[in-house]
A and B are shown apart, each in its own frame.
Chain A
Amino acid sequence: MNELPLEGVRVLEVAPGYAAGFAGRLLAGFGADVAVAGDPSAELTPDELVFLTSGKRRVTGASPGDLRRLALAADIVLDDQKPGTLASVGLAPDGLRRENPALIVVSITPFGQRGPYADWGATNITAFSMGGIVSLTGHPSREPLVTGGSQAYALGGLNAFSATVTAYYGRLVHGEGDWIDISLQECSAGMLELYGPGSAATDVGPSPRRGNHVRAVWGIYPCADGWAGVCCLERQVPAFFKLLDDPVLEEERFRDPFQRAEQDDELSAMVYAWFADKTKAEILALGPKTRVPFGAVMTPGDLLANESLAERGFFDAVPTPDGEARIPGRPFPGVLWRAPQLHDSEDAESLLRDWSAERVRA
Chain B
Amino acid sequence: MKKLPLEGVRVLDLTMMWAGPFATKLLAEMGAEVIKIESPNAWDNIRTLIPQPGIEEPWNASYYFNDYNRDKKSLVLDLAHPRGREVFLQLVPHADVVIENYRADVLDNLNLSYEVLRQVREDIILVSMAGFGKTGSEKDQVGFGPIIEQMGGVASTTGYGDDGEPYKTGVSYGDPVGGIAAAGAVALALIHRKKTGKGTFVDLAQRETMATMIGQAFVASSLRGEEPVHRGNRSDRWAPQGIYPCAGDDQWIAVSVRDDDEWRALASVIGATDLEAFGQDERISRHDEIDERIRAWTRQQDPQAAMETLAAARVPAGRVLDSDAIHRDPHLLARGFWVELPHPRMAPWKQPSSAWRFVEANPQLRRHAPLFGEHTAEILGELLGMGSQDIAALDAEGVTSRAPVNPGVG
Contact, CB under 8 Å: B232 / A294: no
Contact, CB under 8 Å: A167 / B50: no
B residues less than 8 Å from A328 (CB atoms): 208, 211-212, 215, 218
Interface size (A, Cβ < 8 Å)? 154
Contact, CB under 8 Å: A185 / B331: yes
Contact, CB under 8 Å: B142 / A292: yes
Contact, CB under 8 Å: B146 / A231: yes
Which 5 interchain pairs have the tightest Cβ spacing? A136-B170, A170-B5, A148-B157, A162-B184, A126-B318
Q: Is B74 an interface residue (CB 8 A)?
A: no
Within 8 A of A (CB), among B127-146: 127, 132-133, 135-146
Contact, CB under 8 Å: A210 / B220: no
Which residue from chain B places its CB closest to the CB of A153 in the assembled complex? Answer: B213
Q: Is A264 an interface residue (CB 8 A)?
A: no
Contact, CB under 8 Å: A135 / B316: no
Chain B contact-residue range equals: 35 or more
- 13 A–B contacts from the bound complex (CB under 8 Å): A123-B235, A125-B241, A166-B187, A202-B63, A212-B167, A236-B142, A299-B221, A303-B211, A307-B136, A328-B212, A331-B185, A332-B181, A332-B202
Q: Quick one: given A3-B196, A170-B4, A332-B204, are A145 and B184 in contact (CB under 8 Å)?
A: no
Contact with A257, one of B146, B168, B410 (Cβ below 8 angstroms): B410
Contact with A167, one of B5, B7, B127 (Cβ below 8 angstroms): B5
Q: Is A345 an interface residue (CB 8 A)?
A: no
A residues less than 8 Å from B367 (CB atoms): none
User: Once bound together, how far apart are the Cα atoms of A326 and B211, in whole Å?
Assistant: 12
Contact, CB under 8 Å: B181 / A331: yes
Contact, CB under 8 Å: B170 / A209: yes
Contact, CB under 8 Å: B172 / A193: yes
Q: Is B329 an interface residue (CB 8 A)?
A: yes
**Shortest distance in angstroms between A227's beta carbon and chain B's nearest beta carbon?**
5
Q: Quick one: given A5-B195, A191-B22, are A206 and B158 in contact (CB under 8 Å)?
A: no
Stretch at the interface among B76-84, B319-327, B380-388, B393-401: B319-327
Interface majority SS (helix, strand, loop, mixed), chain A: mixed
User: Once bound together, how far apart are the Cα atoms of A136 and B329, in whole Å?
Assistant: 17
Contact with B352, one of A135, A186, A199, A207 (Cβ below 8 angstroms): A186
Q: Is A81 an interface residue (CB 8 A)?
A: no
Contact with A299, one of B153, B167, B315 (Cβ below 8 angstroms): B153
Max chain A Cβ within 10 angstroms of own Cβ: one of B64, B147, B346 = B147
Beta-carbon contacts of B248-264 to A below 8 Å, as 1s and 0s?
00101111101000100
Within 8 A of A (CB), among B177-227: 177, 180-185, 187-192, 194-196, 200-205, 208-209, 211-225, 227
Max chain B Cβ within 10 angstroms of own Cβ: one of A131, A191, A233, A284 = A191
Q: Is B359 an interface residue (CB 8 A)?
A: yes
Contact with A320, one of B170, B211, B223, B245 (Cβ below 8 angstroms): B223
Beta-carbon contacts of A101-118 to B below 8 Å, as 1s and 0s?
000000000011111111
A residues less than 8 Å from B137 (CB atoms): 307-308, 311
Max chain B Cβ within 10 angstroms of own Cβ: one of A142, A159, A292 = A159
Contact, CB under 8 Å: B318 / A122: yes
